[in-house]
Structure 1
């Protein structure tokens, strides 16, 4: 296989390269502003944990492990839910379902909407640099998934020894592949933006869309909308 790369608009590229210092100053200022706002929220609401990880995509598995490690050392959690910051999570419905789930299934629980036989990508953002198989073990899509206490404890205790891979969701699948897990598949954890009244979580939302869904949930118990 051979490739030919053609770069168009050379003058634009040269202008971009010439402005690197200016862009670096802009992004440093932007990063400082975001950090300041996050710390203000953390001080006001106590709802953010800062871990010692550079916050870029490739470090998400390490970030997840650091969270489990901190939680294991500081909080006696019965379950741990992972979600993304662009998701609406129906906390009320999740909590209601958890009680029923424990009575039926006991421990070693991983509850989510799972992807099976997912091909390992070799190129682009999701290219896998470490895992050598052709497909990943079963893993939960990132909108939201819950592990029981025993699974969380194992992650917290072994966080310094676990190998990280290209994303936190596939990494969890690889880590869990050696675990005798009770997989609870539940398509109410939406892997796309297809909302339904019984959704436990919905991904890929703007901040305003999340607020709107909360408003609908509070008004008529349906995050998708309240009709006429």
Structure 2
């Protein structure tokens, strides 16, 4: 090969190497400038719409310490109003309205109603072509329910096959705390049958008060084989006097049409007139509620102009059950507006020890671009069946480790990953539980999320101080609560 050509190759290759080196220097400088110009910590304070005094207390207290550090920013986050009055919802944690049908009155008292639509022959054998078929062998042993208006349980229905194959069994009633009644049933107790169920009249009607939550379950020790017909079950929720929220088998599952229970119940309203009066005032309550919520919206707008630290999330209705959606909106907003090395999520009843937080981060966090979640973690917590924290979507007996709801710290890579995956995330009960489940399965390439338990994250006897102190009591001297 000609020496001149070889020399040209050498010169060209050298120029390319120099160009690549200069480019890498340039990219390093850009990365350093980007990193140094953005805040190292963004604090997202999740707040409720009407918590004006809580937000003001925070502004007057630990937010003042942020000013002593470069690279820390914060915002409060609230959602939009629910247009339904709390008394018109299925519970105060949701924004779902109860739609009650005509209940008659005390002179024209309706007959006992069934929790299954037996009068329409819904629980029956049907053709193989129906898509919601379930094998009778997989029928469930009971169900959980919530009562919207006080009612009496008048009789219990059990599948006829049990009376054929069992000498006796138990029907167990429980509320959110404990078993409150057991009924022993014997073979000759089956007197009236309807659509494959034997109905047993209760000697004393059970009064279930408004907002009662509980379950009815059948218990027996013998394994029996039910017929192998297919069944389609529809629960009688048209009246909306109660809500069937769970079905009980090996696990507690969310109810949906087609899940058949081996046991059902008949009921009657305690006071049809009171239910009718309550229903007639529904529209008036909603109108009055909207007037109050519109006033809160106006006050929030003034607060946003005065303080410039409040973000109104227009995509989320601000109720407890929407907290998983709300926290994902917060993460997406922070990733797009204040990309930081870390995102600290806290509630508006929480005090943050800013000095201890920054000292701890400087000493303990060695890999700023890792995929990590720091907090005080809960382990092996049972999945609740009732109350505010009831969860019918997570299929398991215990949750994976999840962070303290008061606060947790996410690395920038985790914030980015969650913001990208947010549209595909399934929501569970509570944002802390949801965060624990999401981070249990998320991956970024070969990297998994590290859940790092911080011993002095919350107050404890072994710590002189902690990063997070939950449950601030607003100072009335600086309160601007409406």
* Normalised TM-score (structure 1): 0.79
Asked which structure has the greater CA Rg, the reply is 2
Q: 8 Å contact 2:369–2:412 — kept in the other structure?
A: no
Aligned twin of 1:102 = 365
In 1, Cα distance between equivalents of 2:316 and 2:364:
34
Matches within 5 A, 1:170-209: 170-179=433-442, 180-190=448-458, 198-208=465-475
In 2, Cα distance between equivalents of 1:155 and 1:42:
27
Cα RMSD (Å)? 2.8
Aligned twin of 2:306 = 44
Give the C-alpha shift of residue 185 in structure 1. 1.5
| SS of equivalent residue, structure 2 residue 424 | coil
Aligned: 1:132 with 2:399: no
Aligned: 1:157 with 2:420: yes
Aligned twin of 1:226 = none
In 2, Cα distance between equivalents of 1:168 and 1:21:
32
Aligned twin of 2:297 = 35
Alpha-carbon spacing, 1:17–1:152, altered in 2? closer, same or farther (3 Å): same
Alpha-carbon spacing, 1:142–1:7, altered in 2? closer, same or farther (3 Å): closer
In 2, Cα distance between equivalents of 1:92 and 1:47:
21
Structure 1: tracts of 5 or more residues without a match: 212-228
Aligned twin of 1:5 = 207
In 2, Cα distance between equivalents of 1:13 and 1:191:
47
| SS of equivalent residue, structure 1 residue 37 | helix
Aligned twin of 2:318 = 55
Give the C-alpha shift of residue 43 in structure 1. 1.9
Alpha-carbon spacing, 1:2–1:191, altered in 2? closer, same or farther (3 Å): farther
Give the C-alpha shift of residue 172 in structure 1. 0.3
Structure 2: tracts of 5 or more residues without a match: 1-171, 175-205, 211-269, 443-447
Matches within 5 A, 1:74-89: 74-89=337-352
In 1, Cα distance between equivalents of 2:282 and 2:416:
45
Q: Render the CA deviation track for 1:147-189: whole Å, top value 9, x for unaligned.
A: 1111111001111111111110000000011242333212433
Matches within 5 A, 1:56-75: 56-75=319-338
Give the C-alpha shift of residue 19 in structure 1. 4.6
| SS of equivalent residue, structure 2 residue 316 | coil
Aligned twin of 2:429 = 166
Stretch deviating more after TM superposition (140-149 or 172-181): 172-181
In 2, Cα distance between equivalents of 1:175 and 1:7:
37
Aligned: 1:93 with 2:356: yes
In 1, Cα distance between equivalents of 2:472 and 2:373:
24
- Which structure carries more strand by proportion? 2
Q: 8 Å contact 1:71–1:156 — kept in the other structure?
A: no
In 2, Cα distance between equivalents of 1:154 and 1:5:
50
Alpha-carbon spacing, 1:169–1:7, altered in 2? closer, same or farther (3 Å): closer
| SS of equivalent residue, structure 1 residue 26 | helix
Alpha-carbon spacing, 1:136–1:7, altered in 2? closer, same or farther (3 Å): closer
Stretch deviating more after TM superposition (176-185 or 153-162): 176-185
| SS of equivalent residue, structure 1 residue 50 | strand
Q: Render the CA deviation track for 1:176-227: whole Å, top value 9, x for unaligned.
A: 11242333212433289x9x75121222333229x8xxxxxxxxxxxxxxxx
Q: Render the CA deviation track for 1:75-113: whole Å, top value 9, x for unaligned.
A: 221101111111112223212222223226861221111
Q: 8 Å contact 1:112–1:140 — kept in the other structure?
A: yes
Alpha-carbon spacing, 1:191–1:15, altered in 2? closer, same or farther (3 Å): farther
In 2, Cα distance between equivalents of 1:160 and 1:101:
33
- Which structure carries more helix by proportion? 1
